[in-house]
Structure 1
Amino acid sequence: MNSENTFSSIHAEIVAEANRLRTTPKSVSAFEMPILYTDLTKVDDSELVQELFFRILGRKPDEKEYKRYAKALNSKSMSKELLIQTIALSSEAIARGTRVYAIKAKSVDANLLLSLDGVQFIEKSYMWLLGREPEDAAIKDNLERLDHGVDKKKILLEISGSIECMNRGVALIGIAEDNAKAFKESIVIKIRRKIRGFLRRIKRVVKRVLKLN
């Protein structure tokens, strides 16, 4: 099964679960329903701020919050996608344990992810860049790397530069282009070294075969 079919299957399962919960409102709190990124992007701009606070934070925005975000949205200084990410990755949403399934996200603000720490940083990076939760092994490995001083930016660039992320077409924005360029160049250099090493081994084998003949 290719990656596109896998993501489609996961998305279909989440949508089915969300629809199931919507049909049983008496037994399930509205805040316990799976929150789909695609559902949030369809909300009209005039209702988006209140809807995000209600769905993600479980409360109404105060007057100051509403005016700030509504103004940013109306003036186009903040896109609908960035507003969703800002609320979904806020410390309040993290503390509340709200999960937004970002399977159809096309771009992610790196600074929002870099503001997180530990397990939350790893889980949200996978969720928003790969559209899924990380395996236990991935969490353990990356936590150990963080403990040993590996920069979060490096881990984030590795995830965004993975084949899985590129196949999804998700762009990581907010990280300086020179950092992203340097990371990509380092990957290219490693690949070239491996190819050269492989070719050298092939040449040695060919020489041995020719000597035997």
Structure 2
Amino acid sequence: MSCPSIRSQLPDYVRATLPENEAGVVREHLQRCPRCRRRCDREEVLMSRMAAQFDVPPPAPDFESRVFGELSSGSGRRVHMAWGGAVAVALALGLFIGQFGLWQPDEAGHEAVAVAEVVDTPVVAPLERTVRLAFTSGEPLDDVTLTLNLPPHVEIAGLPGQHQVRWQVSLEQGDNVLALPLRIMFPGDGELVAELDAEGRQKVFRATIPDYPGASRHAPVDVKEPAT
């Protein structure tokens, strides 16, 4: 199996969700391929950081009132989150076996790739999905603001009721990947809107979120740029 194919399976491999026969193929490849093994190490670090970020403490007695207070204020929640590089070579080449949309680079040479990866769960609702945002930067960038806007029926796992989340991040030169665990609470229409602001240069991207349980795996995600 080729390196791009192996790298496309690393997210499922580190979560131990690959079928055993496929996981065995990945393990054998990693034993003899140092580059893919380094990719796998970075993927494991990324997953552990994401798990730590979304570790939610037990609710306080006033939990409900605070949640509804956030909803009524309409204010987004600012979150500082770690980024890691992983799998972006395959994504940039369009070789990822799954859902992907290519966002064209701006004049600064930055491009972004959004991949929606279905994570099956035994329950009908809410529907669990992981959306992977991969950004390739031509140079290191500090103080980059990424704002994520979600439709009313979608939220990020661990941030109940939050439909706008803002990250202040630093992009390394090359590939930067962020995995977002989403919960689709009920059927509905809407888009995931990502706004990227790098040193005053802004770009807005939109991706359609499938809104029904039982959506087929690897169904296309419609990623489009608004007309300027």
Q: What TM-score, normalized to structure 2?
A: 0.24
More relative contact order, 1 or 2 (CA 8 Å, 6+ apart): 2
Query: Which structure shows the bigger proportion of residues in strand conformation?
Result: 2
